[in-house]
Structures are given as C-alpha cells and as structure tokens.
C-alpha cells in the first residue's frame, strides 16, 4: 500500500469546492467538469493557468485506481480488472444489449458480507466498502474504452444499500448537471432486499430505479439461498417496496436467478407471483451461469434446463406478469452473472 494524495474523483460539487478553497467557485466548477470529461491529469485542464494546474497536481490526485487488465468477449462484453490504491482488486463490466446500447455494471463493495448460496462473491466475504471515488472511477475506466454508455447498473460486487452513504455521493456526482449530468432514470440499483436501506432511499432519494434480487418468493427457501432474508423478511420487504413505489412512482424490477432444480418449481413461480401481486413490476429472469464448485445443501448447483426456464416463464405469464429474460453475456470471459469472483475478482450481484 502506498500513501496517496487527497483524491478529487467522487467528491460531490460542494465538497469539491470546499476542498479547493480558497479557489473561487467557478474554478471548482471547471475542475468538476474536467473530472466528468474523464481527464487523466491536471495538465489537460486547459482553461486553468499552468501554475494552478501544477499546484493542483502537487496537492491532489484525480483518481486512486488503475486498470490492471481487461478481457473482452466476442458478444461485446468487456470486463475490467481494477486495482485500488491498497492493492484490492475489483471488476467492472461493460455490457451491450441487442440494440447495441452499452451499460456499465459497477461494484459498491470489495467482497460482500451476504453470502448468497449461488454467488461467488459470497464465498469471499466483505473486505471493505468502496469509496465514492472508487465507485465513480469504475464508470470512468469503462467510459475510457467506450465513450457512449447509456445506462448504469449497480449490480456488481457487494450490496449497494450496505454502502449507501458513499453510493449516494457517487450518484450525486453522476447526476449533477454541472458535470456528468446523467438522468436518474438511466441508473438502476439492485439490492438483495435491505429494508432499512430501501426505506432510507425512499425518504431521501435519489430517485433511481430499483431492482430487487428476489430469486424466490418462498420465504423458507429464500432464507437458505439468501441468508439476508432472515433479518429482512419477505412480508416486510414487500411493504417497504410498496411504499417506495407509492413515493417514486416507478416500476420495480424483480430479478430471479434461476437455479436448475432448486427454485424453478411450480411453487417458486407461484410464490414469486404472490409476492409481485399489488406491485407494479417487471420480472427479469436470469438463468444461473455456471460457476465451478458452487454447492447448495450438498448438491452441485446447475444451470436451469431450457424446459425449466420455459415452464417458469409460461406460468408467470399466465398469472399476468410481464417477464423478460436476460441474455447471457460474457460467458467466455467469466463476466456474466455469478461468474465474477475470487481469486482477485468479483461476482456480479445477479448482474446482467
């Protein structure tokens, strides 16, 4: 680990202006804009006088992480290996959908404490929360290889709502019209269902899109697959989602990672439909991607069969639910949902 100078990326505008004092506000605005443009050195800030650029260079860093490697899949998925200042490694993934839209999938924690049975990150535990700068820099690194990123999803490693203070700063920076100016509607936060966090988000925003990794509506099975359920029971979770929706007025995505033979039964689709009743949702089914060595209650996890997937979709549709099926991306570079993880990596939080 090496000492680093104070890092400016990830600072919301007011904090940046405070840090740069006694520089006047308009200078802070210029620096804020340059950060949003993704410059890698103060020397590129050409509307600042050269002595000022040198002074800033002497006192601050623009970024605290570097791209340590990358892998590209022919389907358009790109995975970046990012090294943080203390040697921690995280990953961020660029996804391309059928209409060639690019989405950045970002991580919020190094590791994850929640130990979902189907997730590689869960086997690693939590190392630490990421700072707002470390979250933002993942976006900047991805944008350095693809300038046109349409959407951001927080579905990488970690549970975003367990790092809400830092994530909130990142969101403030990303949506500030003085810099990045991204629409909140293009940002999705995916949670495993942290009730206090959803309540907090509903009360104080920002109003980003919300996705819940439900996986199954069967409380007993969900507690075994996702231990977070024990302290965040499904009935209370549904209540808080309902309140969130009343306040934000936006459709919520219910994600379900389909694990062959585990949560693909009729009871599971019925329980998911029962959970969805009364909420305005779209169900996003994510056939589990193979990760070697993942075992659930003594059985090796397996991908769902085409028949299991089709049956599940059909049953949900019969109940009047809107269902989408996520295309599998990045399988060849282990950048697909559930494949990111140790050693030296991460797992997508049920990511695209």
Residues contributing to the site for ligand SF4 (CB under 6 A): 112, 114-116, 119, 121-122, 157-159, 192, 347, 349-350
User: Is residue 72 within 8 Å of 146, Cβ to Cβ?
Assistant: no
To ligand SF4, the closest distance from the beta carbon of 108 in angstroms equals 9
The reply to whether 44 belongs to the active site is: no
SS3 at position 300: strand
Which residue number, 111 or 133, has a Cβ lying nearer to ligand SF4? 111
Q: Please list, residue by residue across 232-260, b when 16 or more beta carbons sit within 10 angstroms of its beta carbon and e when fewer do.
A: bebeebbebbeebbeebeeebbbbbbbbb
Which residue number, 122 or 345, has a Cβ lying nearer to ligand SF4? 122
Which residue number, 122 or 133, has a Cβ lying nearer to ligand SF4? 122
Neighbours of 336 (CB within 10 A): 29
Give strand pairing partners of 102.
Answer: 96
Which residue number, 308 or 350, has a Cβ lying nearer to ligand SF4? 350
To ligand SF4, the closest distance from the beta carbon of 226 in angstroms equals 6
For residue 206, whether the previous peptide bond is cis, meaning omega lies within 30 degrees of 0, is yes
Q: How far apart are CA 94 and CA 112, in angstroms?
A: 21
To ligand SF4, the closest distance from the beta carbon of 311 in angstroms equals 24
The reply to whether 337 belongs to the active site is: yes
Q: How far apart are CA 209 and CA 284, in angstroms?
A: 14
**Distances 96 to 33, 137, 310, 326, 328 between C-alpha atoms, Å:** 27, 20, 24, 12, 11
Q: Which of 54, 91, 99, 148 is catalytic?
A: 91
Name the nearest CA neighbour of 350 among 213, 232, 216, 223: 213
To ligand SF4, the closest distance from the beta carbon of 159 in angstroms equals 5
Which residue number, 105 or 173, has a Cβ lying nearer to ligand SF4? 105
User: Is residue 79 within 8 Å of 87, Cβ to Cβ?
Assistant: no
To ligand SF4, the closest distance from the beta carbon of 192 in angstroms equals 4
Which residue number, 8 or 112, has a Cβ lying nearer to ligand SF4? 112
Query: In the 8-state DSSP scheme, what is residue 288?
Result: P
Residue numbers annotated as active site: 91, 337
């Amino acid at each position: 680990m090496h000492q680093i100078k104070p890092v400016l990326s990830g600072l919301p505008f007011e904090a940046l202006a405070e840090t740069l004092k006694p520089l006047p506000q308009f200078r802070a605005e210029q620096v804020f804009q340059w950060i949003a443009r993704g410059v890698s050195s103060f020397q590129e800030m050409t509307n600042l006088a050269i002595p000022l650029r040198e002074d800033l260079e002497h006192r601050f860093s623009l970024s605290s992480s570097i791209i340590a490697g990358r892998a590209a899949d022919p389907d358009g998925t790109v995975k970046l290996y990012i090294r943080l200042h203390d040697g921690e490694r995280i990953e961020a993934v660029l996804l391309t959908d059928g209409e060639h839209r690019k989405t950045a999938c970002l991580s919020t924690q190094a590791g994850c404490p929640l130990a979902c049975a189907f997730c590689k990150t869960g086997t690693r535990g939590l190392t630490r929360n990421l700072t707002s700068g470390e979250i933002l820099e993942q976006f900047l690194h991805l944008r350095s290889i693809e300038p046109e990123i349409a959407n951001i999803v927080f579905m990488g490693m970690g549970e975003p709502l367990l790092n809400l203070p830092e994530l909130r700063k990142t969101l403030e920076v990303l949506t500030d019209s003085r810099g990045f100016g991204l629409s909140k509607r293009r940002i999705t936060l995916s949670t495993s269902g942290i009730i206090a966090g959803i309540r907090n988000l509903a009360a104080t925003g920002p109003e980003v899109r919300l996705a819940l990794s439900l996986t199954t509506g069967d409380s007993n099975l969900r507690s075994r697959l996702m231990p977070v359920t024990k302290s965040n029971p499904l009935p209370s979770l549904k209540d808080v989602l309902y309140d969130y929706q009343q306040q934000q007025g936006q459709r919520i995505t219910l994600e379900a990672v389909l694990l062959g033979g585990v949560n693909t039964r009729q009871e599971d689709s019925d329980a998911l439909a029962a959970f969805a009743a009364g909420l305005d949702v779209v169900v996003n089914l994510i056939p589990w991607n193979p990760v070697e060595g993942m075992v659930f209650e003594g059985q090796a996890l397996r991908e769902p069969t085409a028949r299991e997937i089709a049956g599940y979709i059909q049953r949900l549709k019969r109940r009047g639910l809107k269902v989408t099926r996520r295309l599998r991306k990045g399988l060849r570079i282990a950048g697909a949902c559930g494949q990111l993880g140790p050693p030296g990596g991460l797992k997508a939080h049920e990511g695209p």
